[in-house]
Amino acid sequence: MAELFDSTSKKNPFEDLAIVYVMYFDEAQGHMPLLIYPDDNYRNNKTFMRPIKYHPIWFLSLDESDALDHIDLEFKGYTFFGKKFLTRSKREKRRAGLEVETPETIVVILSLPDNIELFGDGLIRLLTQNIRDKYESKLFEIIDSEILKEEVIKSPTVKTRIEKGDSFKKELRTEIEVTTNKFFSDVIKNSDATSIRMQKAIAYLAFKGIDVSHLDGKEYNGTFSNIQLFDPNIQGEVNFVDKKPFIILKINIIEDSQELEILVQNNSLHAIKGTIVKINHLKEYFEKEVMIETIDSWEAQEELVFISPIIPYVDDYLFFIIDEVSNEKLLSKRIDLKLLEKT
Amino acid sequence: MAEELLKEEEIIIRNYRTSDYKATLKILRELQEQYNIGFVESKWRETSGLRQFKPNLKRITLIAELKKTGQVVSMGMLEAVKTNLGQYIGYLNNWATEKEFIGKGVGKILADRAIQILKSWGCEAVRINMAYIGEQKLIDIFGKVGFKPIITVLEKKFDAE
């Protein structure tokens, strides 16, 4: 992520991997950043802040947000995981009708490169849980301090409030850093090394300069992780558990009818009941549903065709397969028409 | 004639698979020769018969296969189309049987299954499109299972440029 935004920060090896935004809803200014980890300077970058401010999480009610657990947005090779919650407040609000006790709306957004997006679900849950549990009664003081910083004349009381907020903010930043580092260390130590997705993620970590050399060899006890890389000379069992249940076999544009045709296969060895297939189009960060279909039963290895009309001047489409009961996203794919062959 | 009829247990009715492409192509060619159904070979692709979903339309191609030999002997497409009034109407299209199996009751078994599926999809009626100058025999066969002619469709073909 950092290469996009000219960051030179290299404090720890995980800094470049995850960016965490703690945001709040300001009654006078709208969606505002409270803290950005690892580098607060991102808040001044308009290009960078746009997807954050317009992330769909902002527009969902808390009920919807809870039901969906978290909301993701894919944008330029990064996945933005968002979660929203309310916290206690004792701050005087700047809009009529809002009480001092009106809760603060907090949004936590985590951005990960697409290559390691499989860590997103776990990390956003952990971060939100920690922030919620430990800073429930402190977040409004950080907000208060951020608002007071804009005042031209700062009385000693104001200065004290700003200092207090800043000190909480510092703690919060450390908390995020510790949580993120621990998460990545744990996830690598404890995960199933035979999983293809995990191997891909680790390959990405190695590519990003994180030291995984200790993984290659038998003497890895006591090092950072106990994971081992695949040895091509050893024939192991194929891990079907982590095999993706659905794969996209082909995506075509049918020029005659101006339709987008997506061919998907149930890659598992059993029929899958109750899946929802959704095609949305994406225009300026907003998603609009083009098609939604419930598939009662999808037979093992069966290939299905999903066809969506192509909307004039819209090139970006999102394809999702979601479990009807758990709402878990089983497959998500962003489709850029400009990159497809026409048939 | 009755002793020539195939029994239901001798046939497997299943969804189309891409491996059925050649067999279905052969059947559709024969149908085109006989009734000029407007079949264009280049438009029938390997994936054309797969279960298909698009806004306001679901489509399945059913295949009847001989249990003993695995031979594809009949095919038929069923579609559920949502009308402007919000109702789903089912359609049976491109219903065709291999020449040597015509008259052996395969089409009837296939159609019964198709009607069950369309009912389960919530269709309020099922329609069959057939050639205007169709054989009276066919109309009588469908009449026996409740199909009555209700509309006449007029078509003008655009000449291929």
Picking from A263, A302, A309, the nearest residue to B47 by CB comes out as: A263
Asked if A342 and A253 count as a contact pair (C-beta separation under 8 A), the reply is: yes
Q: In what helix (H) or strand (E) does residue B106 lie, and over which residues does it extend? A: helix B106-120
Query: Token pair 């695995």 is at which residue?
Result: B70
pLDDT of residue A63: 56
Q: What are residue B44's phi and psi, to 5 degrees?
A: -90, 100
Classify domain A246-342 at the CATH class level.
mainly beta
Residues in CB range of A259: below 8 A, 6 or more apart: A253, A307, A308, A309, A310, B54
Model ipTM over 0.90: no
Helix (H, G, I), strand (E, B) or coil at A290: strand
Residues in CB range of A221: below 8 A, 6 or more apart: none
Lowest mean pLDDT among A88-102, A239-253, A280-294, B134-148: A239-253
Cis before A38 (ω within 30): yes
Structure tokens at A128: 């939100």
Most confident of A213-217, A305-309, A312-316, B4-8: A305-309
Taking one residue from A and the other from B, the number of pairs with CB-CB distance under 8 angstroms is: 39
**Nearest-neighbour CA in chain A from B50: distance (Å):** 6
Picking from B18, B47, B55, the nearest residue to A291 by CB comes out as: B55
Q: Beta strands A272-283 and A329-336: pairing type?
A: unpaired
Q: How far apart are CA B125 and CA B131, in angstroms?
A: 20
Query: Given a cut of 90, is residue A21 above it in pLDDT?
Result: no
Domain map of chain A by residue range?
A: 19-188, 246-342
Query: Do B50 and A304 lie within an 8 Å CB cutoff?
Result: yes
Asked if A91 and A114 count as a contact pair (C-beta separation under 8 A), the reply is: no
**Separation in Å, CA A155 to CA A147, A151, B130:** 14, 10, 87
Percentage of chain B surpassing pLDDT 70? Answer: 93
Higher pLDDT, B79 or A40: B79
Measured between beta carbons, the chain A residues lying within 8 angstroms of B18 are: 303
Torsion of CA A290, A291, A292, A294, to 10 degrees: -170
Amino acid sitting at position A176: I
Picking from A250, A304, A309, the nearest residue to B51 by CB comes out as: A304
Q: DSSP state, A264? A: E
pLDDT of residue A19: 85
Measured between beta carbons, the chain B residues lying within 8 angstroms of A295 are: 53
Picking from B47, B50, B53, the nearest residue to A277 by CB comes out as: B53
**Separation in Å, CA B124 to CA A34, A201, B20, B141, B147:** 56, 51, 30, 22, 14
Closest-approach residue (CA) in chain B for A308: B54
Classify domain A19-188 at the CATH class level.
alpha beta
Q: DSSP state, A342? A: B
Query: Which 92-121 residues of chain B touch chain A by CB within 8 A?
Result: none
Q: How far apart are CA A158 and CA B127, in angstroms?
A: 77
Structure tokens at B114: 């198709």
Q: How far apart are CA A322 and CA A292, in angstroms?
A: 11
Picking from A293, A305, A308, the nearest residue to B50 by CB comes out as: A305
In sign, the C-alpha dihedral spanning A98, A99, A103, A108 is positive
Asked if B97 and B73 count as a contact pair (C-beta separation under 8 A), the reply is: yes
Higher pLDDT, A152 or A195: A152
| Residue-wise pLDDT tens digits, A57-91 | 666 665 554 545 556 666 667 777 888 888 888 88
Query: Do A303 and B54 lie within an 8 Å CB cutoff?
Result: no
pLDDT of residue A198: 63
Angle A139-148/A120-135 helices, nearest 10 degrees? 80
Query: Given a cut of 50, is residue A217 above it in pLDDT?
Result: no
pLDDT of residue B64: 94
Q: E strands along A5-70, which residues? A: 19-26, 30-37
Find the mean pLDDT for residues B70-80.
93
Closest-approach residue (CA) in chain A for B121: A296
Find the mean pLDDT for residues B112-141.
84
pLDDT of residue A303: 92
Percentage of chain A surpassing pLDDT 70? Answer: 69
| Residue-wise pLDDT tens digits, B116-127 | 999 998 999 999
Residues in CB range of A70: below 8 A, 6 or more apart: A57, A81, A82, A83, A121, A124, A125, A128
pLDDT of residue A208: 60
Query: Given a cut of 70, is residue A48 above it in pLDDT?
Result: no
Find the mean pLDDT for residues A240-258.
77
DSSP calls for B9-28: GGEEEEE--GGGHHHHHHHH
Measured between beta carbons, the chain A residues lying within 8 angstroms of B12 are: none
Query: Do B54 and A299 lie within an 8 Å CB cutoff?
Result: no
How many CA atoms are closer than 13 Å to the CA of B149, on its beta-carbon side? 13
* B50: nearest Cα among B58, B61, B37, B66: B61
Q: DSSP state, A268? A: S
Query: Do B54 and A250 lie within an 8 Å CB cutoff?
Result: no
Whether B56 and chain A come into contact, CB under 8 Å, resolves to: no
| Residue-wise pLDDT tens digits, A296-342 | 999 988 999 999 999 888 888 889 999 888 888 888 888 888 887 65
Burial A110-123 (b: 16+ CB within 10 A, else e): bbbbebbbbbbbeb
Q: In what helix (H) or strand (E) does residue A71 lie, and over which residues does it extend? A: strand A71-75
Query: Given a cut of 60, is residue A162 above it in pLDDT?
Result: yes
Q: Beta strands B51-54 and A272-283: pairing type?
A: unpaired
Whether B51 and chain A come into contact, CB under 8 Å, resolves to: yes
Most confident of A47-51, A286-290, B53-57: B53-57
DSSP calls for A53-65: HT-GGGGS-HHHH
Q: How far apart are CA A191 and CA A328, in angstroms?
A: 20
Find the mean pLDDT for residues A28-57.
75
pLDDT of residue A228: 45
Q: How far apart are CA A260 and CA A168, in angstroms?
A: 50
Query: Given a cut of 90, is residue A287 above it in pLDDT?
Result: no
Helix (H, G, I), strand (E, B) or coil at A128: helix
pLDDT of residue B61: 95
Closest-approach residue (CA) in chain B for A250: B47
Q: E strands along A158-271, which residues? A: 246-254, 259-266
Query: Token pair 């002619």 is at which residue?
Result: B149
Q: How far apart are CA A304 and CA A307, in angstroms?
A: 10
Whether B46 and chain A come into contact, CB under 8 Å, resolves to: no
Lowest mean pLDDT among A57-71, A172-186, A231-245, B12-26: A231-245
What average pLDDT does the structure give for chain A?
A: 75
**Separation in Å, CA A282 to CA A50, A97, A245, A288, B125:** 15, 35, 25, 7, 37
Measured between beta carbons, the chain B residues lying within 8 angstroms of A290 are: 55
What average pLDDT does the structure give for chain B?
A: 86
Measured between beta carbons, the chain B residues lying within 8 angstroms of A277 are: 53
Q: How far apart are CA B97 and CA B63, in angstroms?
A: 10
| Residue-wise pLDDT tens digits, A178-194 | 888 888 777 665 555 55
A interface with B, Cβ–Cβ < 8 A, is 250, 259, 261, 263, 277, 290-291, 293, 295, 299, 302-309
Whether B32 and chain A come into contact, CB under 8 Å, resolves to: no
Phi-psi region for residue B146, left (φ > 0), alpha (ψ -120 to 50) or beta? left
pLDDT of residue A240: 38
pLDDT of residue A264: 94
